[in-house]
Structures are given as structure tokens and as C-alpha cells.
Amino acid sequence: MLETRRLGRTGIEASLLGFGGIPIMRVGMDEARDTIAEALSLGVNFIDTARGYGDSERKIGEALKSLGAKAILASKSPKRDADGMLEDFKTSLANLGVASIDLYQVHCVNTEEDYAKVLKPGGALEALGKLKAEEKLRHIGFTTHNLALAGKAVESGKFETIQVLYNFIEPEAGKEVIPMALERDIGVLAMKPFAGGCIERCDLALRFALSRPGVIAIPGMATPDEVRQNAEIARLPQALTAEEMKIAAAEREHLGARYCRRCDYCQPCPSGIPIAFAMHIPSIRKRMGDAMMQTEFIKGVHEKIGSCTECGECEDRCPFDLPVRDLIKEARQSLAEVLESK
């Protein structure tokens, strides 16, 4: 079985290896059930999903029901207002087939504007507080790709968990945000420990994320074999050796010339392209599958990418000297394979 770690002041004893619910969108119900069954049998007791993950919630709910099993359930919503959050939470309850949810998170709050909307009267946090008072929700969390906002959320004291990027390509959260959260007894969930599938040495990547005491890693898993592999890695000593750190550093250097850290220093784009999101489209497609590339939002991104004038302002601003224009072209090609072939 797997080691458990206390998820901050929630008091939840979660398996150090959690189950990321994105990839099961790509598989059928039977395989999703088999994957979740394998995870539970190996001691994975924490499952993270979201309203934005297609049919992930429903598959998880149906799998747990058919297995007669329970797990610590976390989901999340991108809604910033109270009414929208309440509606999404109601849908999550129905999809998961439960009367209450252990952790519900405000999803992907990446701008100051969105953060203010969440916290203002009539905002999403107000709704989550109401749900918690009604005992339909146990704990409230916050997810972001923006480390400054992660720190702000931690300092606010209004959230019991934070979910941030943490891998050996993007280790920045480990410098200030994670220590500050753990010091304040706020639970930490490490998303994208494999950098969205870009890291080749997944064994080193997962051990790196787990080597931080108190952190729960939630890699996405779509097959029983992936679950077994990750569980085996999670049982190994987590600290990387000096030689392994050199291997990780070499991979970081190799990826560094083409890997977007989502810092958004490249913005604003004169053509309105969400550059960081666009550059991760090939990775998003790999994790979520072609069906999720059919949404109106993705189609809108595809249209904006098509308006790129190749002015180069983004490359001038990029602190990592990425070939942004080339990466945008690759993203457009990836989307074209899905959208323009229909």
C-alpha cells in the first residue's frame, strides 16, 4: 500500500500519489472503471477531477458505484460568481453520485481580475462557504498557474488547499509558495508532475514532486498499467541522487529551449492570442484527446491563432528566449488536424 500524507488543516489522510482525472476522458467506461479499480487496490485513495474535464466526473462516479467503493473526492469549477459555482457544484454532486464532496476548488484563477471576482460579495467563495455550512462540502481549495496569486491565496487564509504546478522543469513553487503553504498548514496538491507529458523520465519527475514532504502529487492516469507504474515509483525513495539530479537538469536544459513556463510575460498579444495556452495545445490534446478539442473555446483559440501576424513582440518579451512564433505554428497545426479535417 501507499504512504499517506496529511492534506494540511483539512485533516484528510491522502495517499501521496493521487489520481488525476483528465486522461480517463480518452478511454471508454470499462477501461476507466478498471483503471480506478487498480488505483484503489494499490492504495490510491484521492481522486481529483473537474467540471472542465469532459465526462471525467461521470466516469469516476459510475466506476465507484459499480465497484461499491469510496474515495476522497476533489473536483473544481471555473465559475467566479456564486450562482455559477452553486450550479456547477450541484452538477458535480450528481455526476459523482455522492451527497457531499470532500474538496471543491476554484479552478484556474490566473488573473488579479478573476481573483477579485472570486472573493467579492456574490463571488464563488461565498457559494462554497454556504455549501460548507450546509455540510455538502467539507473543504475549499484554490488552483492556479500563477505563483503570485497562489501566494496571495495562501496569505488570505480563505483556502484550505492550493493546487500548483510542480515538477523539475517548473520547480519555482517549491521556493516560496509551497513552504509558505505548509507552514500555514494549507494542503498542497502538485499538478502536472510530468509537465503535461513533456518529461521523458517520468520516474524521476514523480519522485521529485513527492520528495517534498507534505505534497500530494496528482498525475493523470488513463490505464491500469499507468497506475501500476506510478504506484511502483511512489514506493521508491523519493529523494533524487546527485547523478539523477544531473539527468533531470539535462532534461530541463533540453526542454528549456521550447517549454513555456506560463509566466505570461509575452502578453499582451496584439492579435489577442492567449499565447501560453496556445503553446501548450499539443500537450493538452495529448492528455485530453481530440474530442475535447471540439469545444467553442478551443475553436475560438484556433481562430485567434490564425490571426497571428508574426510580429515577434512575444519573442522580444519572453525571458526564456523561446521560439514563440514557431510554437504557435505547431499549435495551429495540431488544432488543424482536428478541426479543419471535419
Q: Bridge partners of 72? A: 46
**Largest Cα span, the chain:** 57
pLDDT above 80 for 100: yes
Tens digits of per-residue pLDDT, 321-340? 889 999 999 888 988 888 87
Residue 85 neighbours by CB distance under 10 Å: 25
Q: Are 210 and 234 in contact (CB under 8 A)?
A: yes
Q: Please calculate the CA angle 203-206-211 and round it to the nearest 5 degrees.
A: 120
SS3 for 20? strand
**Helices 124-133/82-96 angle, 10° precision:** 50
Nearest to 214 by CA among 188, 236, 238: 188
**pLDDT greater at residue 18 or residue 285:** 18
pLDDT of residue 188: 98
pTM confidence score: 0.86
CATH superfamily of 4-244: NADP-dependent oxidoreductase domain (3.20.20.100)
Nearest to 17 by CA among 187, 218, 192, 174: 218
Please compute the mean of the pLDDT values over residues 145-152 and round it to a whole number.
Answer: 95
Give backbone dihedrals phi and psi of 217, rounded to 5 degrees, phi first.
Answer: -95, 140
Per the document, the length of the chain is: 342
Q: Please calculate the CA angle 157-162-165 and round it to the nearest 5 degrees.
A: 145
Question: What distances in angstroms separate CA 210 from CA 219, 230, 269, 289, 339, one per listed residue?
Answer: 11, 11, 36, 27, 38
Report the range of poorest mean pLDDT among 48-52, 55-59, 71-75, 263-267: 263-267
pLDDT of residue 342: 54
Tens digits of per-residue pLDDT, 223-277? 999 999 999 999 999 999 999 999 999 988 887 778 887 777 788 899 999 888 8
Domain definitions of the chain by residue range: 4-244, 275-339
Task: For residue 175, count CB atoms less than 10 angstroms from its CB and return exposed for 0-12, middle for 13-18, buried for 19 or more.
Answer: exposed
Percent of the chain with pLDDT over 70: 99
Please compute Rg for the chain using Cα positions.
19
Sign of the CA dihedral 328, 333, 334, 338? Answer: positive
Residue 30: pLDDT band (50, 70, 90) is very high
pLDDT of residue 322: 85
pLDDT of residue 289: 83
Residue 135 neighbours by CB distance under 10 Å: 9
Please compute the mean of the pLDDT values over residues 105-129 and round it to a whole number.
Answer: 97
Nearest to 38 by CA among 233, 204, 230, 236: 230
pLDDT of residue 278: 87
Residue 288: pLDDT band (50, 70, 90) is confident
**pLDDT greater at residue 267 or residue 28:** 28
Tens digits of per-residue pLDDT, 82-95? 999 999 999 999 99
Q: Are 86 and 101 in contact (CB under 8 A)?
A: no
What is the β-pairing status of strands 215-217 and 46-48? Answer: unpaired
Please compute the mean of the pLDDT values over residues 292-309 and round it to a whole number.
Answer: 87
